Chain A
């Protein structure tokens, strides 16, 4: 059985669509800026779904007016980490919300091996399941 037929990580918004072009990303950034969100860029090489805290690429960008500034940061991150996962997040600072309002992947590795489902048998024939990302199988400095 194929658990990952498209060989693509599906996390965040737009992840079932083909990769967004820069123009489409700009349009999304503009939407967020119009809503008053602060954009930030994060990257990781471990796509496990429970790996929620990716590494920040620079500070979150407050007080921006135009998507070109955010896109500049994204392109800088793509240059630095061409074969990592890179996502953009929009932080809504409205009192009472104060959380991430948008998040989508803007860069992925060429090859995405997906996840392994591990089963372990416990006492009384009980089954425990866990997932492990193949991409994170190697030590950190030998990946990708």
Chain B
């Protein structure tokens, strides 16, 4: 079978966008994800590059496929995994990956427990991720410089080889805390040089966290009454001061606890006819019962 390059007919950016429907994903990204301005800007840049590359290819201008391996750094709960999933969709729409699925793994999925266990394990994960995005969470655990016989080294070597040789088949995204990823890259110059895009996820501010909370509630068919809206803002300010604050994840946990309290409140009143309004409303006391509002606050679970 002869390899003939497929040349599209699109000559303008608008035509490529219309054919790939990528604009829709970008719009969803803007509307669904709160804040994250630098991240969105970088994703737009990457999308623009891929669109221009498509146009170049249509005119027969040779250019090597850009390396799209990325590193997402940021504190917990800043949306790294969520953005990675979106990234897989965007890359798929732009024709950069063939399938557009995401395989999320951690060290345990890549590194084996005894000699000869690591290579097949890593390869199996890589095979599953082919045609999509491989998301390695807490990637800095892969390499442990303090133990020179660590099998993580072997996994890294296989990973690097595939990242270099099969760039068309898969995109690797590493994720982790900023400072630990920096240390990781310092001890692995090979990995650092193969990753073109380093994207830092900023922490959220109170207004952004509020908006995220409201989005989460709306998705689950809940809402705050006026008192709860107010209490939620106060709760967030207090919670951000606490240790183990995990941004959006802490918001989700807080809301889950508020739902528990709302449920017990309604449960206590056996004979009351409950309306849809009762069942969807989280009131001020549901939030104010949190330990954070008690006089002496022990550290709350993240």
- A residues touching B (Cβ–Cβ < 8 Å)? 21, 23-24, 58-59, 61, 63-70, 72-73
- B124 and A72 contacting across the interface, CB-CB below 8 Å: no
Chain B hits for A58, CB < 8 A: 120, 123
For chain B residues 130-175, which have a beta carbon within 8 Å of chain A? Answer: 130-132, 162, 166, 169-170
B128 interface residue (CB < 8 Å to A): yes
Write the chain A residue with the least CB distance to B3: A23
Q: Please tell me which one of the listed residues A21, A23, A24, A68 contacts residue B130 in the complex, with CB atoms under 8 A apart.
A: A68
B1 interface residue (CB < 8 Å to A): yes
* Docked CA distance A141–B129 (Å): 37
- B169 and A66 contacting across the interface, CB-CB below 8 Å: yes
- B120 and A69 contacting across the interface, CB-CB below 8 Å: no
Interface 1/0 per residue, B209-243 and A, CB below 8 Å: 00000000000000000000000000000000000
- B1 and A21 contacting across the interface, CB-CB below 8 Å: yes
For chain B residues 240-295, which have a beta carbon within 8 Å of chain A? Answer: none
- B120 and A64 contacting across the interface, CB-CB below 8 Å: no
- A68 and B124 contacting across the interface, CB-CB below 8 Å: no
A141–chain B nearest beta-carbon distance, Å: 22
* Most A CB within 10 A of own CB, among B123, B127, B130: B127
* Docked CA distance A64–B126 (Å): 10
Interface 1/0 per residue, B86-109 and A, CB below 8 Å: 000000000000110100000000
- B127 and A59 contacting across the interface, CB-CB below 8 Å: no
- B99 and A23 contacting across the interface, CB-CB below 8 Å: no
- A69 and B1 contacting across the interface, CB-CB below 8 Å: no
Chain B hits for A65, CB < 8 A: 99, 101, 128, 130-132
* Docked CA distance A23–B4 (Å): 12
* Docked CA distance A65–B129 (Å): 8
Given contacts A66-B99, A66-B169, A68-B169, contact A61 B127 (CB under 8 A): yes
Question: How many interface residues does B have (CB within 8 Å)?
Answer: 19
* Most B CB within 10 A of own CB, among A21, A64, A66: A66
24 example contacts (A-B, Cβ-Cβ < 8 A) are as follows A21-B1, A23-B3, A24-B1, A58-B123, A59-B120, A61-B124, A65-B99, A65-B101, A65-B128, A65-B131, A65-B132, A66-B98, A66-B169, A67-B130, A68-B130, A68-B169, A68-B170, A69-B128, A69-B130, A69-B131, A72-B123, A72-B126, A73-B123, A73-B127
- B130 and A66 contacting across the interface, CB-CB below 8 Å: yes
Write the chain B residue with the least CB distance to A23: B1
Chain A hits for B101, CB < 8 A: 65
* Docked CA distance A61–B128 (Å): 8
Write the chain B residue with the least CB distance to A24: B1
- B1 and A72 contacting across the interface, CB-CB below 8 Å: no
8 new A-B pairs (CB below 8 Å) besides A59-B120, A63-B128? A23-B1, A64-B127, A66-B98, A66-B99, A66-B130, A66-B132, A70-B127, A72-B162
Chain A hits for B128, CB < 8 A: 63-65, 69
* Docked CA distance A67–B166 (Å): 13
* Docked CA distance A70–B131 (Å): 11
Chain B hits for A61, CB < 8 A: 124, 127
Write the chain B residue with the least CB distance to A76: B123
Write the chain B residue with the least CB distance to A21: B1
A69–chain B nearest beta-carbon distance, Å: 3
* Docked CA distance A120–B291 (Å): 91
* Docked CA distance A24–B1 (Å): 7
